[in-house]
């Protein structure tokens, strides 16, 4: 009569024993991976807010910890390009050790721009880790109000 367990290769009972032993150690001492510091993201792209009004386009990019002088802003083929270098340092202190991790990496965002913008008058400013790019529209594409004159009876 066969047992209730399906047939396994001869090494399977040892593999199962090893898994059971690992599970027992985790229950007794906790998961060792939980104590390991999670790595800093290797790929990162800043979050942006994009707002279009009648007169301009505003782009706000969250760049915490990024020096404004390390940000390059360009307009190429109708795309607003934001790129630069982000440097992050993280330190973890506990009773018996101190661990410091550093990350340096480039970021890049390309945002399509609407037609009719005035590339020559784009400005940018930085305030508390947020870079705001102001892209004015050309006067000929701005909405124009046309007054309706009353009918004159003579």
* pLDDT single digits (tens) 138-153: 888 777 788 898 888 8
Domain count, the chain: 1
**Is residue 133 domain-resident?**
yes
Task: Name 105's Cβ contacts closer than 8 Å, sequence gap at least 6.
Answer: 42, 43, 44, 85, 86
**Is residue 82 domain-resident?**
yes
- Count of CB atoms within 10 A of residue 114's CB? 11
**Is residue 123 domain-resident?**
yes
**Domain residues for 105?**
48-141
Distance CA 85, CA 47 (A): 15
Residue 13, H or E segment: helix 12-29
Contact 81, 109 (CB under 8 A): yes
CATH number, domain at 123? 2.60.40.790
Say how many residues make up the chain. 154
DSSP summary character for residue 82: E
* pLDDT single digits (tens) 98-135: 777 767 778 889 999 988 899 999 999 999 989 999 99
Q: Which of 6-15, 17-26, 117-126 has the lowest mean pLDDT?
A: 6-15
């Amino acid at each position: 009569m066969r047992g209730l367990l399906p047939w396994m290769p001869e090494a399977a009972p040892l593999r199962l024993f090893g898994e059971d032993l690992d599970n027992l150690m985790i229950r007794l001492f906790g998961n060792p991976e939980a104590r390991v510091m999670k790595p800093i993201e290797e790929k990162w792209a800043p979050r942006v807010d994009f707002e279009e009004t009648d007169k301009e386009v505003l782009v706000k990019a969250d760049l915490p910890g990024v020096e404004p002088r390390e940000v390059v802003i360009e307009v190429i083929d109708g795309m607003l390009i934001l790129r630069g270098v982000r440097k992050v340092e993280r330190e973890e202190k506990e009773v018996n050790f101190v661990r410091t991790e550093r990350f340096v990496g480039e970021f890049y965002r390309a945002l399509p721009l609407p037609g009719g913008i005035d590339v020559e008058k784009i400005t940018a400013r930085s305030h508390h880790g947020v870079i705001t790019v102001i892209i004015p529209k050309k006067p000929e594409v701005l909405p124009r109000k046309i007054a309706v004159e009353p009918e004159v009876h003579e």
